[in-house]
Structure 1
Amino acid sequence: MASQVYGTPYGAEPRHPGWPARLGPLDVAAGTVMLRPIRLRDGGDWSRIRLRDHTYLERWEPTAAGPWSERNALWAWPSQWLSLRGLARRGQCLPFVITVDGAFAGQITIGNVIRASLRSAWVGYWVSSELAGGGVATAAVALLADHAFTSAGLHRLEATVRPENGASVRVLTKAGFRQEGLFLRYLDVAGDWRDHLSFAVTAEEIGEGFATRLVAGGLATRPAPR
C-alpha cells in the first residue's frame, strides 16, 4: 500500500505539482500584486532593478563569487533562468516573478523542495526598493504560501532572516509565519557569518488562507472581477 499525505499517494503526484501557475491578484498600497513563472525575457527588468538596488539588496543576500555588477548583468540572467526552470521542471523549486500593476517588481521562490514524508521547503524573496513598505512582499508571501499548501502539496515552509532586517521580519509575521528560533552563524552574508532568525508555518495553520487573512486584517483587498 502506498504511503499518502492529504489523500494523495506519493507515486500518483505530478512531476512538478504547483508549477507553472499564476497567482493573485491582491491589491495593496503599492498596487495590484500577482505572481507568474519566470521568463527568459525578464532579464532586462531583472538586471536593471538588481543593478540599481545593489546597496539595498546585497547586505541581506548570501555572499557569492564575483562582483555584483557581473552577477546581475543582463548576460547573467539566461543561466539563472535555465537553472531555476530546470529545478522547477524536476519539482525541486517553484520560481516566480512578482508583478505590481503588471510590471516586474521582484522575485519569490520556494526552494529545496523535499517530498516523501517531509514535504518541506524554504521561501525566499526580494522586491524593488521603489516598492518597499507598500505591502508587496507580504502579499507575495501570502499568495505563494497558500499555493504551496494546496496545489503544490507541501506541509511545511521555512524562512530565515537576519535579526537586523526588521522589514523582512515584519513581512513574514504579517503573512502568517511564526518565529521558531535563532540560528547562530547560519549563513555567509555580506562577507561574514551571520545569525538568522528561523520562521516557519505548516499546513495545519493555513485556516482559510493567508491571503484571506490579509484581507480580513485590512492589509490587502481583492480586486473586483472585470
Structure 2
Amino acid sequence: MPVTVRVPHLEDAEVLAALAVANRTFLAPYEPHRDEGYYTATGQRALLARTLAACEAGTALPFLVLDDGEVVGRVTVNDVVRGPFLSGHLGYWVAEDAGGRGVATTAVGLVVAAALGPFGLHRVQAAVMPDNARSLAVLAHHRFERIGPAPRYLRIAGAWRDHLLLQRVADEDGS
C-alpha cells in the first residue's frame, strides 16, 4: 500500500502516544519542549480534540501519515486564515524509521495539493531550521520558494532558533 494521509480521529490517541514515545529523542532537536502528558494517550487525545475543533472551525487541516496502512507521522496546516489572505502554516514529522524513503515527501505533497486545491488556500508557508536538510529537501521537491530568514523565530528544544521561511503559492489554475 502506498503512502497515504487521512484525517485523524480521537481513537488514534494510543498510536500517536506510542509514536511520540518511540520518537522522542529523534524529534527533540526539532520540537518545543513537551510536558510529560504529551507522551500519553490522554495527552494525545486532548491534542487531537483541539486539532479537530480547529479543523471544524476551518483554521486547521490535520492529517495522519500512513505507510502501508500504519500511522507513521502527522502533517498539519495550522493557523489557516481565510478572506483575502487564504494562507496557513505547514508542519510535519514522520517517525525515524519512516525517514529517508520518501514518506514525508509524499505525505507533504498530498496535503499541500489538498490545501491549495479543494481547501482553497492561496499560500502555504513553512518554517524550517537552516540545518534541517531533509525537511528543506522535502519542501524544495514541492516547489516551496524561500521567503527569507527569520531570526529567533520559534522556541525549539528550549531555545529561540533561527528558521528559514518558505512558501508555496497556488498556481494560476488554483493547484
Does TM-score exceed 0.5, indicating one fold?
yes
Match of 2:18 among 24, 44, 48: 48
Match of 1:10 in 2: none
Letter paired with 2:112 = A
Alignment partners' CA distance in 2, 1:193 and 1:129: 24
Match of 1:129 in 2: 96
Shift >3 Å, 4+ stretches? none
Structure 1: runs of 5 or more not aligned: 1-30, 210-226
Normalization by structure 2: what TM-score?
0.94
Alignment partners' CA distance in 1, 2:88 and 2:76: 10
Would you say the 8 A contact 1:93–1:113 is kept in 2?
yes
Alignment partners' CA distance in 2, 1:105 and 1:76: 18
Alignment partners' CA distance in 1, 2:4 and 2:145: 24
Do the aligned partners of residues 164 and 205 (structure 1) sit closer, same or farther apart at CA in structure 2, a change above 3 Å counting? farther
Match of 1:138 among 93, 105, 108: 105
Match of 2:50 in 1: 83
Would you say the 8 A contact 2:86–2:121 is kept in 1?
yes
Match of 2:27 in 1: 57
Deviation at residue 205 of structure 1 after TM alignment: 6.9
Would you say the 8 A contact 1:142–1:176 is kept in 2?
no
Would you say the 8 A contact 2:77–2:89 is kept in 1?
yes
CA deviations 1:131-164 (Å, max 9, x no partner) are 1101011111111111111110000000001011
Alignment partners' CA distance in 1, 2:134 and 2:56: 32
Structure 1 residues 32-47: aligned runs within 5 Å = 32-47=2-17
Correspondence 1:159 to 2:159 = no
Letter paired with 2:163 = H
Deviation at residue 179 of structure 1 after TM alignment: 1.5
CA deviations 1:78-127 (Å, max 9, x no partner) are 11111011010010101111101111111110110001111010110010
Alignment partners' CA distance in 2, 1:56 and 1:205: 39
Deviation at residue 204 of structure 1 after TM alignment: 2.2
Q: Which moved more, 1:176-185 or 1:155-164?
A: 176-185
Match of 2:165 in 1: 198
Q: Percent identity?
A: 33
Match of 1:116 in 2: 83
CA RMSD of aligned residues (A): 1.5
Correspondence 1:96 to 2:63 = yes
Match of 2:115 in 1: 148
Letter paired with 2:44 = W
Higher CA-based Rg: 1
Deviation at residue 199 of structure 1 after TM alignment: 0.8
CA deviations 1:167-204 (Å, max 9, x no partner) are 11111111221222110011110011100011101012
Alignment partners' CA distance in 1, 2:31 and 2:172: 28
Structure 2: runs of 5 or more not aligned: none
